[in-house]
Structure 1
Amino acid sequence: MFHANSLLLPFFNDEHRALHDSLHRWCRQHFTSRIHNGSVDLYCQKLVRQLGDAGWLRYTVPAAYGGQLPEIDSRSLCLLRQTLGYYDGLADFAFVMQGLGSGPITLFGSDELKAKYLPKVATGDYIAAFALSEPDAGSDAAAMKTKATRTADGYLLNGVKTWISNAGIADFYTVFARTENDEAEGVTAFVVDANTPGLEITERFDLAAPHPIGTLTFTNCYIPASQRLAQPGQGFKVAMQNLDVFRASVGAAALGFAETALDMAINHASTRQMFGGVLSDLQITQAAIGDMSTEIDAATLLVYRAAWERDVLKQRTTRSAAMAKLYATESAQRIIDRSLQMFGGLGVRVGQPIEMLYREVRALRIYEGATEVQQVIIARETMKNKTGEAK
């Protein structure tokens, strides 16, 4: 669990500390296991309803549209993801997709679009999704092929989006397409209702850690111009600013995963009989726990520095958020692996919480920009800053 002293860092105020405490109490009542059986779709729909009824989804939209705070607060998002991730990976997923899918509307939507979608996102009545990736355009979003052809009063969407979380259960999708026959070239963003004619879910597939995901196919899918976000050709700006808000929170989710893995390791090592004592008596075990604890503290500082810079300094966090995501997700993978190693054969048995964590953490190093992409972002931003200083 989040080390108590961490909450005393200057990144946080009393509201953040109260949020952390109340959310932990709620999670302890509602989540007793990371292991789920049955339909993942039904479970995620249930989670969205639970999170909405409890008021936690209100942190994903501004107060003017049913939110908890005047504007989206990155530190609160991170605390929510870290805490939910500690207890249940799918709860973290269900929460963040409400924010990631509706974030472009918050940032760039018209008043009409905000009023139409955001209040229902905050209550859990609408499930949101974010549709950027394509079969040949993942980290390289510039390779996007989905097209939006201008008509007299709207657009016709044609193309394929894949790796879309909440595909099949979402009520709306924020979709990015290359604009044709418009006043501006480039990529444009749209809000597409799930029941729009011409939009089909053409594939669903399983992942190592199951969650709702699949492929969307658009065939002459008509979208009114009123469903467009920002101006034509500004889709990359919409996508990147939205990812800037949520990228640090991926690191926060990884922190939650890492913390629960460390707690599992300590609890197991303290009781596992070995060589006339217990596993935690061994210096090699203590060294592993020392390394894991240090990595968690380092990741905490990087994650909440990025969130604080956005909330308090009101500045772009491209570099610091990339650092937070890279370090927190990579260190979480190492921590969970070392924890699983302490469990021995039990650690790889399906149905064990540490085995589920091992599968859950792997995707965090890929989505919202893989580790290698974060390295490139950090390098470019660092070189750009140094070049500017030299002038």
Structure 2
Amino acid sequence: MADRTFLNWPFFEEGHRDWAAKVEAVAAALAVDHGDTDAACRTLVRRLGAAGVLQVTADASGAGLDVRKLCLAREILARHDGLADFAFAMQGLGTAAITLFGSPAQRAEWLGKTAAGEAIAAFALTEPQSGSDVASSTMTAVRDGDDYVLNGEKTWISNGGIADVYTLFARTGEAPGAKGLSAFIVTPDLAGFEVVERLETIAPHPLATLRFTNCRLPASAMIGAPGQGFKIAMSVLDVFRSTVAAAALGFARRALDEALGRVTTRQVQGAPLFDLQMVQGHIADMALDVDAAALLIYRAAWTKDSGAPRVTREAAMAKLFSTEAAQGVIDKAVQLFGGEGVRSGATVERLYREIRALRIYEGASDVQRIVIARQAMMAQEGAK
């Protein structure tokens, strides 16, 4: 059983502890076959919705999101099942722009469905020539009467091909660079919407490249105001970057649990593997990284929930440290398992594949370093 004593830290209230217990019970009972990834994701969304777990991914009242609950859910789900974490996370990421900036009508139309698991959501930001550099996006949305016409491609879109609703960002041209982007609600039934490629990765998830060719949608599909797209995207990532770190923490906790089970039962020269001091050193390093990651994650989440308009620095630190540390924790677990650690289907082998993408998506590690450095410089200049 993973350590739960961190729930007594002052970052949490009683409602968060109750929430963690609920998610733990739901996660332990999921047991969904992953043979067909698309079908598994659909099943997971339905079951998480029916269990009430998806309620925290959306708020139709416009009050906002409880980031600590989002992080707790992702940590717990990732510890049990990486695909369940993915299904949960995308319901939140895919509709966060609607929750935070959508009109009452937009929130009423979509958030109830996604929170109930009746509709699958996606977040369409990345383009073939612009990953972390969102400001250089080239997909266009040209006003034509009461409509906008979309042209361009999005790629590496999670839930691409199975989503019922996409939050999509395109260039409307109010100004150059970041100030010329806008956000839209797009559905896959629109003429000119095409899934051109499904993308396979080392840890299977529904991913796709999407193409829009003279795809017409009503102006009422815009989220917020023209030119607000970059602000909306960054605000969404400001919330969900901490939750990526929490998923990494869940993977790391599972790896530590698996490693502890291994070293206390595996015999070497008549004694448990744990008796070797070098092994104890590895376990100590793993436990240290897990707790340090948790502190950074829940500091960021608590800060956001306490009313901070932005947590750019805190979220970047949490994501960078937690994903990099989790990679190291899982690698140590694989090493402690020896040959069994690289056997296809082993828990630590699965974790080894699942953690790698988290160091890339929603801002790669080196991008987070740039963000942190710039935030440090801003703080230094502000102190003068």
Give the TM-score, by structure 2 length.
0.97
**What RMSD in Å do the two structures reach over aligned CA positions?**
1.6
What is the number of equivalent residue pairs in this alignment? 383
Aligned to 1:179: 172
Q: What residue ranges of structure 2 are gaps of 5+ in the alignment?
A: none
Runs of 4+ in 1 over 6 A off after TM superposition: none
Choose from 285, 292, 302 the match for 1:291.
Answer: 285
CA distance in 1, matches of 2:356, 2:292: 20
CA-to-partner distance for each residue in 1:331-353, whole Å, 9 max, x for gaps?
A: 00000000000111111111111
> Percent identity among equivalent residues?
52
Matches within 5 A, 1:1-391: 1-31=1-31, 36-62=33-59, 64=61, 71-180=64-173, 186-390=180-384
CA distance in 1, matches of 2:247, 2:342: 22
CA-to-partner distance for each residue in 1:295-317, whole Å, 9 max, x for gaps?
A: 11111100000000000143310
- Report the 3-state secondary structure (helix = DSSP H, G, I; strand = E; otherwise coil) of the residue aligned with 2:354: helix
Shift, 1:278, TM fit: 1.7
CA-to-partner distance for each residue in 1:99-156, whole Å, 9 max, x for gaps?
A: 0000000111111111111100110111000000000000111221101111011110
Shift, 1:185, TM fit: 6.1
Shift, 1:2, TM fit: 4.7
CA-to-partner distance for each residue in 1:58-116, whole Å, 9 max, x for gaps?
A: 01111638xxxx53100000000000010000000000100000000011111111111
CA distance in 1, matches of 2:328, 2:264: 21
- Report the 3-state secondary structure (helix = DSSP H, G, I; strand = E; otherwise coil) of the residue aligned with 2:306: helix
CA-to-partner distance for each residue in 1:308-329, whole Å, 9 max, x for gaps?
A: 0000143310000000000000
CA distance in 2, matches of 1:209, 1:274: 33
Task: Give the counterpart letter for 2:354 in structure 1.
Answer: E
CA distance in 2, matches of 1:368, 1:148: 23
CA-to-partner distance for each residue in 1:175-228, whole Å, 9 max, x for gaps?
A: 11111489x960111000111111010000110100000100000000100000
CA distance in 1, matches of 2:104, 2:133: 31
Is residue 309–residue 315 contact of structure 1 (8 Å, CA) maintained in 2? no
Q: What residue ranges of structure 1 are gaps of 5+ in the alignment?
A: none
Give the TM-score, by structure 1 length.
0.95
Is residue 75–residue 250 contact of structure 2 (8 Å, CA) maintained in 1? yes
Is residue 31–residue 87 contact of structure 1 (8 Å, CA) maintained in 2? no
Q: 1:276 to 1:185 in 2, by over 3 A?
A: closer
